[in-house]
Structure 1
């Protein structure tokens, strides 16, 4: 199996509901950050929230990976700062058992996105790693530096769109 790393992040303007998702898919390489920056993909999302945008961005990235048709041959490590995404694999059994209803018998607002994520990850061997966002540069390891690339790309795109 060939290992790949997927870095995803999003930035949303809550009052307008406009957000930008960014992802970077790389194999095990040690390319300079400037080179990796050129590989980042961006997409605009509308009528979204921060939680929804994180899910939409991950689904978009996984969808594009699936379209490549090589999902059985890769092992994917997903790096995100979204606590919601990190917890979803462990919550799957309970969510499916309860048909995506909360303990207060209310349907979870993002359940279609959860279902889509579970369908996609059934076909891709992946695991999720929480990245601490917005650390001082001196404290960033190689993973955090790569994650910062997608974080900054999403924020920059949103700022430019709101001008």
Structure 2
């Protein structure tokens, strides 16, 4: 399968830690659509309540993957979330302990992590790191595309907060 059949998924979230309200944003494109003029129109936004920055990142990814549905193409997921980037390395330990901490308590967001692992097993997903906040002069094309979801989630949250 040609790499030009890959889908690129960009996700980000922005949360107000006091109100625990956040907005997740994503867009997904074929690799051959990367430089389309209307990428901003492809962004989808969703409001989440009772969230945190860590929780919002995984909620947004799960929402995006559920909306994409079952496909037989590779999805390259771009995120700036250190938590998401580290999940594959933590998987064995988390599943072995049934998502309990050393203090014998369920870890925060454990159900979301289980859903994430299930979906990444079902779908062909590659996760790539994006540095979320670079100077414009330092950004490559992927960074510029990520900025679209970064701005969308921040602007939605600002609108919520009346800023």
TM-score, shorter chain, exceeding 0.5? yes
Describe the SS at the equivalent of 1:24: strand
Contact residue 78 and residue 129 of structure 1 kept, 8 A = yes
Seen in structure 2, the aligned counterparts of structure 1 residues 34 and 161 have a Cα distance that, compared at 3 Å, is: farther
The offset of 1:105, in angstroms, is: 2.5
Matched, 1:58 2:57: no
- Identify unmatched segments of 5+ residues in structure 2: none
Contact residue 33 and residue 146 of structure 1 kept, 8 A = no
- 1:112-131 → structure 2 map (5 Å cutoff): 112-131=111-130
Superposition RMSD on alpha carbons, in Å?
A: 1.3
Matched residue pairs, number? 159
**Under a length normalisation based on structure 1, what TM-score does the superposition of the two structures give?**
0.93
Task: Judge which range, 52-61 or 92-101, deviates more.
Answer: 92-101
Structure 1: 4+ residue segments shifted above 4 A? none
Distance (whole Å) between structure 1 residues aligned to residue 12 and residue 23 of structure 2: 9
The offset of 1:104, in angstroms, is: 3.0
Matched, 1:146 2:145: yes
**Under a length normalisation based on structure 2, what TM-score does the superposition of the two structures give?**
0.93
TM-superposition CA deviations, 1:91-142 (whole Å, max 9, x none):
1111100110123332101100000111111110111111111100010001
TM-superposition CA deviations, 1:17-71 (whole Å, max 9, x none):
11000001011125446411110110000111000000100000010111xx4x2
- Identify unmatched segments of 5+ residues in structure 1: none
1:22 counterpart (25, 29, 34): 25
